């Protein structure tokens, strides 16, 4: 589904990614771990098409086509979804209006009919149960005055509505207490499917107790320095990142 080859990227002329390779197939969950500043969030943002990064080398193929040529919204239409570390507040924009606009934009781009208000409400209520998002938050402005946990649940709700082929979860565990983390992880797990791939970016092993990955990769200095199964995450939990960094340097 996704094949990243020798990806180099800079931000403000500073090299961030320096030869990253990654292949993700449908049905797989990949965790990307690594110390702060290793380029984890940059990778997530580049896949979603955020401005401010320059790809200087390498390619990213998604469903057999080059991803980097596409606009941000085209990527969403093609099935890329980024659950953000810091979901943006949109004061004055009603959450339901936003969710419906988003879903219908994606449906329209894929040649499906737009959902009318009644069918949409039915669908959104059903999906909101998945992340235990109360009705009142659907009626509020997007993320405005939401707690950290509510924002993350709203992200997973969007994912549930858009049913992306590839979901990228950027530090979804940050700022969550244990109860919120459990709810969010439940939502994510319910969305695992043989057709869907996920990339879970996280600093801590904690999240992976709830969302069990098929593969774990360690990103350091802009490239993947070690890949393994979920036992690698446990090893990192015990030993930290330094031993890997030293190994990589050697």
Partner 1 sequence: MSTQQTQRDWFNDIVQQNAGLLSSAGPPWLSRTREQARQAITGIPLPDRKQETWRYADLGKLYQQHYYHQQGQLDTLADDAVQKWIYARGASHRLVFANGHFVPGMSHIDTLPSNVTLGSLHDMLKTEPDRVSAVLSQFDADSADVFSELNRAFINDGLFVHVPENTVIDKPIEVVYLNIADQQNLLCQPRSLVILEANAQARLVERNVGSGRSSYFFNGVIGLSLAANARLQHYRLQHEGRNAHHLSRVSLRQQDASEYSGVNISTGGAWSRTEINARFDGPHAVCELDGLYSVGEQQYTDFHLDVRHSLPHCRSRENFKGIVYGNGRAVFDGRILVEKDAQKTDAQLSNSNLLLSQNGEVDTKPQLEIHADDVKCSHGTTVGKIDPGQLFYLRSRGIREQQARKMICLGFAEQVLSHIDDAAVHDFVHAQIAELLDQAAVVL
> Interface residues with partner 1 (CB under 8 A)?
48-51, 71-73, 75-77, 81-82, 84, 87-88, 90-93, 97-98, 101-103, 105-106, 109, 141, 158, 162
Give CA–CA dist 61/35, Å, rounded. 26
Tokens 């565990």 map to which residue? 173
Give whichever of 71 and 246 is closer to partner 1, judged by the CB atom.
Answer: 71
- Could you tell me the smallest distance in angstroms from the CB atom of residue 168 to partner 1? 10
- Could you tell me the smallest distance in angstroms from the CB atom of residue 94 to partner 1? 8
- Could you tell me the smallest distance in angstroms from the CB atom of residue 107 to partner 1? 9
- Could you tell me the smallest distance in angstroms from the CB atom of residue 178 to partner 1? 27
Return the structure tokens found at 133.
Answer: 């998002």
What is the DSSP track for 84-146?
A: -SSPPPEEEEEHHHHHHHHHHHHHHHTTPPPPPHHHHHHHHHHHHHHTT--HHHHHSEETTT-
- Could you tell me the smallest distance in angstroms from the CB atom of residue 103 to partner 1? 8
Q: 206 near 178, Cβ under 8 Å?
A: no
Give CA–CA dist 178/198, Å, rounded. 22
SS3 74: helix
Torsion, Cα 198 203 209 212, to 10 degrees, reads: 20
End-to-end CA gap in the chain: 33
58 conformational bin, left if phi > 0, alpha if psi -120 to 50, beta if neither: left
Return the structure tokens found at 26.
Answer: 């449908």
- Could you tell me the smallest distance in angstroms from the CB atom of residue 209 to partner 1? 28
């Amino acid at each position: 589904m996704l094949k990243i080859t020798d990806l180099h990227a800079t931000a403000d002329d500073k090299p961030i990614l320096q030869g990253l390779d990654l292949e993700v197939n449908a049905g797989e969950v990949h965790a990307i771990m690594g110390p702060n500043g290793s380029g984890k969030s940059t990778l997530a943002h580049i896949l979603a098409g955020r401005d401010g990064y320059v790809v200087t080398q390498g390619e990213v193929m998604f469903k057999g086509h080059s991803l980097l040529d596409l606009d941000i919204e085209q990527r969403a239409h093609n099935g890329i979804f980024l659950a953000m570390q810091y979901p943006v507040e949109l004061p004055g924009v009603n959450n339901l209006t936003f969710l419906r606009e988003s879903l219908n934009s994606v449906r329209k781009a894929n040649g499906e009919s737009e959902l009318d208000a009644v069918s949409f409400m039915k669908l959104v209520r059903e999906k909101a149960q998945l992340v235990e998002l109360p009705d009142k938050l659907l009626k509020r402005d997007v993320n405005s005055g939401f707690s950290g946990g509510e924002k993350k649940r709203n992200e997973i709700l969007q994912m549930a509505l858009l049913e992306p082929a590839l979901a990228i979860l950027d530090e979804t565990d940050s700022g969550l207490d244990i109860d919120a983390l459990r709810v969010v992880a439940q939502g994510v797990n319910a969305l695992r499917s043989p057709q869907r791939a996920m990339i879970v970016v996280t600093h801590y092993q904690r999240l992976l107790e709830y969302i069990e990955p098929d593969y774990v990769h360690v990103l350091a200095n802009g490239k993947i320095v070690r890949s393994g199964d979920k036992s690698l995450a446990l090893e990192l939990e015990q030993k930290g990142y330094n031993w890997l960094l030293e190994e990589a340097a050697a």
